[in-house]
Structure 1
Amino acid sequence: MKCKNLLFLILILYTFSASCLLHAQTKGSITGRITDKETGESLPGVHVLIKGTYYGAATSIDGAFTIPNINPGVYTIEVSMLGYKQVQNTGVKVTAGAATELNFRLESTVLALGQEVVVIGEKPLFDLEETSSRRSVSSAEIQNQIVENVQDIVATQVGAVQNDNEIHIRGGRAYENAYLLDGISVQDPLAGTGFGLQLSADAIEEVEVITGGFNAEYGQAMSGIINVRTKEGGATYRGSLAYKRDYFGSFDPGTPIIGTLSTKNSHSFRTDVAEFSLSGPEPVTNLILPALGVHVPGTFSVFGNMYALTSDTYLRTSARQLYSSTFHGKTFAPRQDN
């Protein structure tokens, strides 16, 4: 009788251990280490989350983390810590019975948590956690478009229409939109338009258009949100110079062929666009002070952009003389559109 009980107990223990081993083989895990991109030091207390699930972990004192018991599949891993850019690694494949290794190098930032996100891999077509209808246009996409300013970029988005130099989102009035520039509201308190959005397309890093379902953090808006982020300086000096016009010279309109491109014909608005931009390391803290033996911690960079547009618009008639109360009388007021 004792032998039968002993055999029954051994059978139960064997079955339990086999089921535990089988369960462990049907699950996967994600392990890795998170360090600072500049110093290479380990970062403790970093939040590591699998988007769309409740699985996550926090890094230890040496920057290591482990997320066990994950069902096999493809996930997006989100890494965040205060003072650093949020990172999302898409297309991470978890295999049953194996540990997937992921290492991250976080880059510091002065923006609030979540305002700047670095995506590693391909951006997913749909964000399951997104509750608003938004579209982000990067500087690379802007360069491939024929646009001059923010209004032209927003007008190309779904749900937005430009009419009479005003932006209407989903049929709303122009003053029902909220305009943000680097996170700061530039709403005109009288007209309700974005008077601070007279920016060149070359000075824009990203334009985010939210056409519905926006969060409570955006106030004083009923139709949509237009959030513009300008460019920053880099480690090397770069610059650009451009000049554009909608006519060719000042030829007599009676001249064959060339006369059709003169400033006096009905097809020209006499529009001139001049643009200049320069970016790079800040010269005082990066060149002058180190030469004097003064070393300032951190790195500083600058970005500057100049954009000027003059036009007679659609009126096709020129005033004899224009006066400007802002730019010293008639010196900088040669066109009607001023």
Structure 2
Amino acid sequence: MNQKFKTALLLLILPLLAVAQSVITGTIKDASTGLPVPSASVLVKGTSNGTATDFDGNYTLNNVPDGAVIVFSYIGYTTQEVAYTGQSTIDIALAEDPSELDAIVLIGYGSIKQENVTSAQETIKSEEFNKGAITSPGQLIAGKAAGVQVTAASGRPGDGPVIRVRPGSTLSGSQDALYVVDGVPLDQSNASLNSINPNDIESITILKDASATAIYGNRASNGVVLITTKKANFSSDLKVRYDVQFAVEKVDNNTDVLTGDEFRQMVADQGRDTSILGDANTDWQDAIYQNGTRAIHNLTIEKGYDNTSIRASLGYNNEHGTLQRSGYERASLSLNVIQKLLDNKLKLTFTSQLAQEEIRNADTGAVGAAVVFDPTQPIFSGSDLYGGYFEYTNSTGIEPNAPRNPLGLLNSLDSQLDNYQARLNMNAEYKLPVKGLKFTGNAGIDYNEFDSYSLRDANSGGR
């Protein structure tokens, strides 16, 4: 009887669920031409549930709740909002937004008005960047550009996110985009966006289509990320600004493992010898993790004259990771100078970024060891062997088939990577006598020097 009741109740609930979450289809077109608008955004307002139109302007939006507001948008067009009241089809005609068409955007080989852009590109300005104690420039645009994936490479301090502009066409080759900072393409084999202070970035433009390869060659086959740094305005007052940001990180969810008491009880219940077990109750995951801290300091000075603008900034970042002995430090110095000459016919722009990075590496093997190491054993053995840490041993030394003490792994390793970076660029722009025609020359250098070492305590028993 109970089974029949449950079946009847399920049949009653299923139609209600189907009504509550609906599917909307439709087409988005240009209001003036009637042509379809591809890659337009369709989003349920206030949520991350959205989609984009295909080449013919068609879209399908799933899981739309009753009473939701659907937002239709595209660069250069006025955004429209439509209340959902059960419609199965919503067709939209987007009108051009004149204020958007006058915006100046970068296209790799120069800058033009938004209304004249024919390539697939997207620009994120500083006021649109993600906020917070951000270390890497990639974190500024996470979730800000359609179709661009920004994912964390690892949890290690100093590791910037991986940026994918479009899916790669190779299984073994690099799928990284080409990074260009103030006109200087970075060496893809050693490109380190973390050496750039996020506080110095004015905008990030992403070139998505294959037209970028006509400028930068096959290096741009996976897309291009153009980074423009901040400059001072002409005829502006002296500005001095200092700001500091502080953040705390902690590990919220550890792997669920047995406590020492639970492990001893399990062994006893199975009728096995408990004499080899210890008397401790050690939470190894709690022992290797700590509250991570991040402090970011920035000092900026800028001044603008009639024909000269100067901006200088000094930044310092100090981060302690959630895994003990992991950390990251960066000191950066930038200088941007613009000088106009010859009655404003000639404009010289000099930009420079200097940075020193220090990445302190922890033994990540401690993370796995903390999950499987015996919780009945203490952290320290009471002897001087193996740095004083408890280890499983045999007649010849450490037992090779047993896991190592997690804290012993962390504290016996001293590993560090240093990066010294210098990026300089000089740009000259001269207006020729022919109206609208100008000559532009650009020269730059991107220099990186890496030093690293890794030392294991000789008394740790090796690894």
Same fold by TM-score greater than 0.5: no
Q: Please give the TM-score of this superposition, normalised by the length of structure 2.
A: 0.33
Q: Please give the TM-score of this superposition, normalised by the length of structure 1.
A: 0.44
Higher percent of residues as strand: 2
